[in-house]
Structure 1
């Protein structure tokens, strides 16, 4: 959520910044809502002062010749009227504040000044490339043909069991999928300094509001029926980031580079709005797995932390020998809560295209304000908002897709990355 104090200072400037990401910030609506809140709040304060002054008038009335009982009755009558007005004014202030907060909850984050202008992914800016796409002496197949050809991938069974956008993996393919998650966790915990977490796969609505999925993206979530307002997690970002909700971290807890967490979880998304896109195979599913990277940092460390976190996700691709490119998202293609985002796009021979496999974002204090995630600044001794970051390190299913397609051989077998061999009992080829 944006800082309402900064909004009051320069709402036109905020509107101009948000226009860079294709969002129309209605300045007049903001001023009207904020004006109602302030007017009701001022009235409440004035009535509190009037009540305080009225309670002191008994002595004056008695001194003017009125009996004590008469003075008390007169003052109590006035206090009762003030109390009724105060109750109404307080309720009006609370209602106005609630309307303002609800409205602000739908306003996206301000883009970083370095974010390029643009309305869609076509205007993202390529930053770098790593690796060379493989050149095959045969026609490249996609991961579905490869997996089904090996008898290890079954989309038909998954459709029978559940429906579309699910898969069943068998034997060695399921083992490679499991190995990928283990490899990523080991890399991030042993070499990159992340603390591994096991977190709930079900969260409450407050957690989703904290990271920005609610209220705007409710249709993309799987809500559970029952007495509690529970949801399946769309990403480990939600439970991990909410570890900071309603907390004040001491400066010593943050250490030199902030707090760094990683967690391997399933993710569940309805993929609302993506009907007809990537319906084949494992690119866009309702259930998939990710190894998530989350960081809590001091405000001044956030820019460097984004570069660091993105580099950690890149290392996974490099260790697996997968060609990829890094792009800086334009304003119109960034996620709702993001201030700045890098996407990593892996090369998929079956599509002859680079496809997103990781999105790494700096959220500034946007999520922290919603969650009241703070740290105590040792210079002032006062709590201040943390800055939060996260990224996929990586999406496990899409990484498996990339391994199948980039490692394919003429006979339909698949060469496996050397980094995975220790997790697969030394196995180097799938389908040999």
Structure 2
């Protein structure tokens, strides 16, 4: 398939390409999204010490992403955007999910209790996005581009510590900061940068995957990779609803709820961009119907994710670039994408192999990915006309949000629930931005 250079699509939204064309286009989408789907699970599993559960969790992440992608394309009962909206595990929830996990861990819970709480609060939180999908145009008056940009920037900035910790060897690693770890993570980081600057579109698209493979090969020669445990894994992973049970905690729920509000707006932007590259209207009833259905499906797919033991889903923006690159916008291709992801999810061996990616290798890649999240937030902010009012909102939101992470012990003398909720930079910074946007009217501060 040749790279698309014109504004015309090779296959439009309702076209049905042949098996070869559909399969090839689908592989490009899977390649673009695969690392994004599995990386949050690898990070959560590593930080919270979920060990033997990680291969199963990765399998479920792939399966639910596949099912969610098909739902977005097929629009059952009007749910879905009716386009190639590849679903994947959302990085936006990472900090809040980790915070929920630490709450369960602090109460003496093991891996199953940790996952029970995480999936419980994520499942109930999904109803917030489902509800908001029907009023998405009104929500934009509260969750403005400025608020969205601030929150996404804080998410990226707060996660950079996770990436850098992995690059140095991982949380509480005995060889933390060892020159070998820093060198290995640095090689992956430099490889991804070099590949991303390539003039070849396919190499750019695969830069993180190739960077991880390079890192794994070098780590293998260094004796940091072992697949000895793979023989103990089951041959097939089958989804089991509520495998880890269900529990709830308000202090874990509130930060998750706020992120569901933000991702509803973020998904609106991704679906709008998808409409543009797929040559669909970006105004009028059809457009509103697609956005409502797409955000509704995002919420439902996150509900489905929690029921089947994985983390909240969202529409991946990088796949809009694949549509533009290939010239294939056919929603028929989404069925192939979903099928490939479900097939990959059936085999826990894949999760077992991915679990063996050494922390420095994963850190070198996630450092770029988290930095990209922060940069995306800055880009949204930069698109705004920044008057004195908006700069004040930014200053307070960033100061409070990042301040709580930089000052350990700041909230130690407050009730546990306050510590859990406002110890999250996303909740503190996001609420500060929302409240100030509402109480500081446009005309309250002169230019």
Band of TM-score, shorter chain: under 0.3
Question: Larger relative contact order (C-alpha < 8 A, sep ≥ 6)?
Answer: 2
TM-score for both structures, normalised by structure 2:
0.25
Name whichever structure is richer in helix by fraction: 2
TM-score for both structures, normalised by structure 1:
0.26
